[in-house]
A and B are shown apart, each in its own frame.
Chain A
Amino acid sequence: MYVAVKGGERAIENAHRLLANARRGDQGVPELTLDQISEQLGLAVDRVMSEGSLYDRELAALAIKQARGDLIEAIFLVRAFRATLPRFGASEPVDSGAMRVQRRVSSTFKDIPGGQILGPTFDYTHRLLDPSLAEGFVPETPATAEASTAPTPRVTDILGRDGLIESSPQAEDGAGVGDLTREPLNFPADRDLRLQNLARGDEGFLLAMGYSTQRGYGRNHPFAGEIRFGEVEVEFAAEDVGFAVPLGSIELTECQMVNQFKGSATEAPCFTRGYGLAFGQSERKTMSMALVDRALRARELGEEALAPAQDEEFVMSHSDNVQATGFVEHLKLPHYVDFQSELGLLRKLRQEFSEAFAKANAPDAMKEAAE
């Protein structure tokens, strides 16, 4: 039960003043700029954009600064900001096949058309702390090489040509695109809603869920068919203009998981797929998302669904870190009246207990029992 409580205004105001000072830290140390956050903590910005579900680097950087680096708090701020703007509409679906690839690796084929491109990656680093980064580090200029103009088709497209992998489900005529920011979530949920939910879901939660499938809780034998990161162009069919208007480009990471094959009396066996897509360079997120997407297809693929990662209601109801933190953290807000009523009840129960105990142990009662 919530009741209006007056009082504490002064304390709250002073606490926020103290927070502003704690956020700034030692004022002898230069203040962070948004450009510094965006340029040098780029992957934190990517995560806040993905889970805040709003592509705007500058706003995400501001949110990180305001939240003192608490990324879930920053995601909360971005979600709240998004609610203040009108929506003009929806973009044309982006074409990840036409991505200007900055990184693209496949663990299934060594010689993919377009090649294995490592890009800026932590892979193969030794994970040793580098003291030279502490101050004044100037990186070497990047190496360059002649860029190929050959296309970089999706690995799943190559497998698809021979029918070795299931094709992506196509939209039914006239079918709308589900939007969980507009309509309440109902179960069972279709794949469009599941992917939207996972795309804005907490990376840590999805990582744990994806990991659980690998450890045997809903196993589905994954291979990272392809992970690609780069820029795609965005177009928006603006009614007033009369054609699809280019809006600029965004950075995306895409993961195609290739999974255990299936088959039936009427269909030849083929690989199945799990899909991950997120803003920015978000490799761990998209890999986890693809594992969980595949696990959530258990019902559709006629698999026994016993593991948490295969339970869409469980996954989708707990993936959102803004909802989760809201409910967990609300426990620290005043519950004085709730607690008073519990306390009153507990006192009454203890009184009853001690009366009953005293009666049972009274000399008369003992005498009676002896008789």
Chain B
Amino acid sequence: MTQHNNQQAQRKAAMAVLAHAEAGEIAARLRALALPAHQDLRAPENGLVMLRGRVGGDGAPFNLGEATVSRAAVRLASGEVGFGYTLGRDGDKARLIALCDALVQSSDFGAAVEREIIAPLREQLMVRRKQAAAETAATKVDFYTMVRGEG
């Protein structure tokens, strides 16, 4: 069970990185691997997900509005089934995420995918976020009290 939960956490962490990457970046990194045989279990499909917020930020949920989402599923010849979901309408990206998700679950490829694809993309994402955070931080207000001129 713990192993199952571990793998689930690992898959989710990989998806959280892949969803932020461009299809081209994922494809370019996948070229570094000798990919096993695989096939589409579900061809990429575009649809909608209703995005929800919460009343007051932390209360009961409400429907805010929809977003476009693309999804796909891929099966490796060795049997692992991967799923790809991403905001937007890029079916190729959904398929690439599904392929990565299948590879993450494979004992032969799991480590290589993490090393060659997920880790560098995560690094890239962190650099982007850090830069944005630094630019934001420069707009933080420093209040100071005016010193009264005396004497």
Contacts and interface: CB of A to CB of B under 8 A. Distances in A.
Interface of A: 49-50, 53-56, 58-59, 82, 85-94, 96-97, 100-103, 110-111, 115-120, 142-148, 154, 156-157, 167-172, 175, 177-181, 191-193, 195-196, 199-200, 233-234, 236, 238, 240-250, 252, 254, 256, 273, 275, 277-279
B138 A142 contact: yes
Q: Which 5 A-B pairs have the closest CB atoms?
A: A168-B59, A168-B56, A55-B67, A171-B60, A147-B133
Contacts of B16: 233, 246
Given A55-B67, A87-B49, A92-B52, A248 B19 contact: yes
Given A53-B65, A168-B57, A192-B61, A94 B140 contact: no
B55 A195 contact: yes
Contacts of B53: 93-94, 96, 195, 199, 252, 277
B56 A275 contact: yes
A93 B139 contact: no
A115 B141 contact: yes
B133 A177 contact: no
B129 A100 contact: yes
B64 interface: yes
B144 to A, nearest CB: 11
B68 A191 contact: no
A93 B132 contact: no
B66 A168 contact: no
A111 B143 contact: yes
A277 B56 CA distance: 9
Interface of B: 8, 11-12, 15-16, 19-20, 45-69, 71, 73, 83, 85-89, 129-141, 143
Contact of B85 (A168, A238, A252): A238
A90 B136 contact: no
B23 to A, nearest CB: 12
A249 B20 contact: yes
A278 B51 CA distance: 11
B57 A82 contact: no
Contact of B56 (A82, A87, A252, A273): A273
A111 B145 CA distance: 13
A116 B143 CA distance: 10
A233 B20 CA distance: 10
17 contacts: A56-B89, A82-B48, A91-B52, A100-B129, A110-B143, A117-B141, A143-B138, A147-B133, A169-B60, A180-B63, A195-B62, A246-B12, A250-B67, A254-B57, A275-B55, A278-B64, A279-B65
A87 B59 CA distance: 24
Interface centre among A168, A181, A200, A252 (most CB of B within 10 A): A168
B66 A53 contact: yes
Contacts, number: 233
A250 B83 CA distance: 21
Given A144-B138, A247-B49, A196 B62 contact: yes
Contacts of A179: 50, 63
B51 A94 contact: yes
Nearest to B41: A240
B55 A117 contact: no
A97 B57 contact: yes
Nearest to A293: B55
Contacts of B63: 90, 177-181, 192, 196
A125 B139 CA distance: 14
Contacts of B12: 243-246
B83 A240 contact: yes
B64 A196 contact: yes
Given A240-B83, A246-B19, A249-B19, 17 more contacts: A55-B68, A86-B45, A115-B141, A117-B136, A118-B140, A145-B134, A145-B138, A148-B137, A157-B58, A180-B63, A196-B62, A196-B64, A243-B11, A246-B16, A247-B19, A247-B87, A248-B19
Interface centre among A59, A243, A246, A254 (most CB of B within 10 A): A246
Interface centre among B46, B55, B129 (most CB of A within 10 A): B55
Contact of A170 (B60, B69, B143): B60
A130 B20 CA distance: 36
A119 B139 contact: yes
B134 A146 contact: yes
A248 B121 CA distance: 14
Interface centre among A97, A145, A148 (most CB of B within 10 A): A145
A136 B16 CA distance: 38
A87 B66 contact: yes
Contact of B69 (A88, A103, A143): A88
